[in-house]
Amino acid sequence: MPIAKQGWELHVQRLGMQKKGTLTRTYGTYQVYINGVRRTELSGHICETIGPGDNSEKDNGKRVEAKIYPLWTQFGSTYRTIDYSEDLVTPGKLHMPGVLLRSTGKRTGILIHPGHPPKLYLSSIGCFNPTKPLTSKDVMDFWDSRTRVIALIESLKAFAPEAFARKASTRIEGASVVVEGEPMNVLSDAKLSEAALVSLRPAPTTPTPPTPSTQIDLLAETLGALDRSGQSVSKLHVSYLDSTSLASVNVEFHAAAMALPPPAATSRELRLGQKMPDQSEISVCGPILKKIRRGDPEFGSLVENLNDDIVFKDEERTGADRMMSARLRDGLNRLAVHVLAEWPGVKLRVTEAWDENNEHHGASLHYEGRAADVTTSPRDGEKLGRLGQLAVDAGLDWVFFEDSMHIHVSVRR
């Protein structure tokens, strides 16, 4: 059942059944398309109950039929599309994030929601549990699954914000789930990887002539590239040859992050529990790809922050708190300048950056060195609100006044 290439479409391709002892589940892949354009960051695998698909009987324990279903926001006792729990410590804390499928015949309460305790091999009766790749023996990771559901919700919110304007079940106009396949075969793990790759491979399309870029498009691309560089720009001059061609781009960067002028004195500060911007961390910074460990190839992408104007707690005595992505290092270095300017004699203090000891929830950006918990040295809880605002001023991508002990900051990849 092909996608319509119109609106927001979640394409679910069923691959077959997985078995582990007496446990059985349907296993497949998912991929989001917006107006036919594949969103590679919104893809993965998905678990359902056993087949065949059947919508003729309520609570029959089987998967839903292969067809197209409209999407609605959900407000139930267990799952919600808005105001779901932000507890990042307790797995399965209510309410969990979820989105509702309608037009399911006599079936009710069919949702896209995380796989959660106590049944992590399968956590649904006809619902969909997004997940990372799994062999037949693997159980789902709640934090990974939760992250994936939230990413879908944030994408839907950006696509149809009017559906999220009120806290009542509302049709998300133009959004649907396309479910394909009714396989009953048991998948062997040896064939699983190949089947998954084939199902996620983009379908061949007839090439179309490229659409000429406009000046606005070119300017947007230029600004996006500068933003991704993580460097602070002091001056930007763009010249155009014509309406579809760039002539030149001249950029002047600050000589170093430490050379940034401190912000003007101000009384602005964050409130306890406030986020800047007021969105979920994953929607701003993106989910983690993996937990980076020493010895992994990805460990080489981390840098050591040796800034003498920052105090590192280093309670593990391993130097882990100094390890972070280059973008986070540059942001913290800018913040350190602002702290010294705001409070002479006071330094920025990092209590946690890269985590190699599994001390955070399963989807934490600390595992990729893209998040840090900060306070001041000497510690002063009265300064945290202002420190949070200084972090915003310093250009950290996401700032959260998490509790009375610290400010949480994170950056994009």
Report yes or no: 410 and 370 within 8 Å, Cβ to Cβ.
yes
Helix, strand or coil for residue 176?
strand
Mean pLDDT for all residues in the chain: 85
123: tokens are 């956590």
Percent of the chain whose predicted confidence (pLDDT) is above 90: 66
- Over residues 361-375, mean pLDDT: 90
Which residues fall within 8 angstroms of residue 382, CB to CB, at 6 or more apart?
A: none
Q: Is the pLDDT of residue 180 over 50?
A: yes
> Per-residue pLDDT averaged across 227-252, rounded?
57
Question: What pLDDT is attached to residue 317?
Answer: 85
pTM: 0.56
pLDDT in tens, 52-102: 999 999 989 999 999 999 999 999 999 999 999 988 778 999 999 999 999
Place of tokens 């401190």: 262
Residue 237: band (very low, low, confident or very high) from pLDDT cuts 50, 70, 90:
low
Q: What would the mean pLDDT of 115-140 be, rounded to a whole number? A: 94
Residue 196 has pLDDT above 90, yes or no: no
- For residue 95, the model assigns a pLDDT of 95
For residues 221 and 105, give the distance between their C-alpha atoms in angstroms, rounded to a whole number.
46
Residue range 348-358: mean pLDDT, rounded: 92
Task: Check pLDDT > 90 for residue 28.
Answer: yes
Three-state DSSP state, 22: coil
Whether 311 shows a pLDDT value over 90: the answer reads yes
For residue 279, pLDDT over 80 is answered with yes
Single out the residue of 403, 335, 396, 342 nearest to residue 370, CA to CA.
Answer: 396
Task: Indicate the angle between helix axes 326-342 and 384-393, nearest 10 degrees.
Answer: 120
Model confidence at 410: pLDDT above 90: yes
Residue 106 token pair:
């006599």
